[in-house]
Amino acid sequence: MRQIKLAEGVFNKIVGTNRDVSSYDHFINIEKTVGSSPNIASHMKEYKSMVKRYRPKFEKLASLEEIIILYRIRENRDIQLSTQREYIYARQACPRSDIRNQDIRLCVANTEFYDMSTYETNPELIQKADKKVCDVLDELIREKEKQFLIYSN
């Protein structure tokens, strides 16, 4: 799948996801596989201490980035229509830390009701797909904002 240019964040890469180890944990874990001198150990101790102290702030920033990214995608939609068997699907690129697919995929309509030679430019289908994608994005935004409020308290 192509890269989602609106999904580039800073802290969401540092903090990691359910599937990806955080950058700082990865950096710390390398220490287990290489030799470590006393000089490295003292600096690593300070590094771990600072990560522990600042981790909640990084996670909060990553959470804010997720919300901003979702709003950017919501305001700059790029919906693709496709068919599979007798259905027309809409697909919108969207980073999702909770699932493997980095997009939203929705069934929009049954192919029997549309001219398949022009379905990709059919205004009714495009509007229907846009509404469904917006509904999903709005729900994702609400969930992330709710999580952020809980996390911030």
Cα Rg of the chain, angstroms:
21
Confidence at 108, pLDDT banded by 50, 70, 90 = very high
| Domain locations along the chain | 5-75, 80-152
Percent of the chain with pLDDT over 70: 92
How does DSSP assign 34-93, residue by residue?
S---HHHHHHHHHHHHHHHHHHHHHHHHHHHHHHHHHHHHHHT---EEEEETTEEEEEEE
Confidence at 92, pLDDT banded by 50, 70, 90 = very high
Answer yes or no: pTM beyond 0.85: no
Q: 97 in the Ramachandran plot: left (φ > 0), alpha (ψ -120 to 50) or beta?
A: alpha
- pLDDT tens for residues 27-74? 888 887 887 788 888 899 999 999 999 999 999 999 999 999 999 999
Q: How many CB atoms lie within 10 A of CB 99?
A: 9
